[in-house]
Structure 1
Amino acid sequence: MSTTIRRHRAHGSRKANGFTLMELLIVISIMLILMLLAIPNFSKMRMTGNETSAINSLQAINKAQILFQTTYPANGYACDLTALGGDPKQGNPTPTSAQMLQNDLASGTKSGYTFKIVNCSKVTVNNTDQITGYEVTAVPQAVGKTGNRGFCIDQFNTIKSDPLGGTNCTQSIQ
C-alpha cells in the first residue's frame, strides 16, 4: 500500500457526498432569521391590501346603490346588503334580490372586513317607505391583524376613515 492511502485510512477521512449536521443546522438557522425578518413586512402588506380592498368594495357598494335607486325608484336605496346581491339562477332581479353586487360582498364580509348598511333615512311616499340616505361601514374583523382603519361611505360618495378601526369615520382619505 502506498503511504498516501495509509494516511487517509489512518485519519478516518470522510466522504465528500453529503452535508454534515452542523452545516444543515447553520442553513436552517439562517432561513429562520430571514423568515423572522420577513413576517412583519408580510403582515403589513396584507393589511394594506385588505384596506385597499375595503375602499374598493365601498365604492362598488355605492355604485350598486345608485343602480338600485335608478332601477327601483319607488324603493330609493337599499338598506340591506343582501338586497343588492342575489343569485341570477334564482330568477329575475327584484328589489329584495337585485343581483347588482357580488355574493361575497353582499354577505357582508370580504378580505378581512365586515360591511354593513347603517343609518338609513326614509320618507313615506304613497304609503311606501323610500330610503333617501344611507351610510356603509367597513370595519376590520381583527383590528391590527386584518386592517387598522375602519371606513365609511354615504350616498354622496364621501369616503372617510376611522384610524382606530371602528365606525367613527371623521378623517377624509386621500
Structure 2
Amino acid sequence: ITYNCMIHGFCNYGKWSDAVRFMHDMIKREISPNVVTFSALINAFVKEGKFTKAEKLLNEMLCRGIFPDTVTYNSMIGGFCKHNRLDDAKRLFVLMASKGCSPDVVTFNTLIDGCCRANRIDDGMELLREMSRRGLVADTVSYTTLVHGFCQVGDLNAAEDLFQEMSSHGVCPDILTYNIMLDGL
C-alpha cells in the first residue's frame, strides 16, 4: 500500500520517472505491482502524451496476468480522444471488451466526445445506441455531447430530435444542454 501511495503521489505531481523508479524498486523487492500501481502510472503517461510508454505498461500488465480495470482503460481511451487519436481509442475499446472488462457510461461518453471532436457524429450516435444494447443508460453528458456535436456541424434538426429523445427517455437537460440548443439556433 505504501508503494502505491508513493507512486500515486509522484504521478499526481507529474514525476512519472520517480514513480517508475519506485515500481522497479517494488519488483526488485519481490512486491508485485497491482492494477492500482499500473493504473496510476498509465494515467500519468497518458496525461503527458506518452502513449508508447502507457501502452507498454498496459502490455506488461497483461503479461504479468494483471487485468486492467475500467479505470485503466478509460484513462487510455480518454487520452487518445483528447489527442485526436480516435481510431486508437476505438481499438482499445474493442480490446477492453475482448479482455472481459465491461465499458461503463464514462467509457461511452469519452468515446462519444472523441467522435464529436472528430466530426464523426454518426459514430457517436452508434455508440449511444450501443450503450442501450448493452443495458447502460445514457445520461445528460451522453446526450448533451451529441447535441453539441450536431450543432457544431450545422445539423440543427438532428440536434432538436436528439434533444426530444433525451426528454422522452427521462434524461433531464441541464443548463449546458439548453445553452447549446440556444446557441445552435
TM-score bucket of the superposed structures, by smaller chain? under 0.3
Looking at secondary structure, tell me which structure has more strand per residue.
1
Q: Larger relative CO (CA 8 A, sep 6+): 1 or 2? A: 1
Q: TM-score with structure 1 length normalisation? A: 0.21
**Structure whose CA Rg is larger:** 1
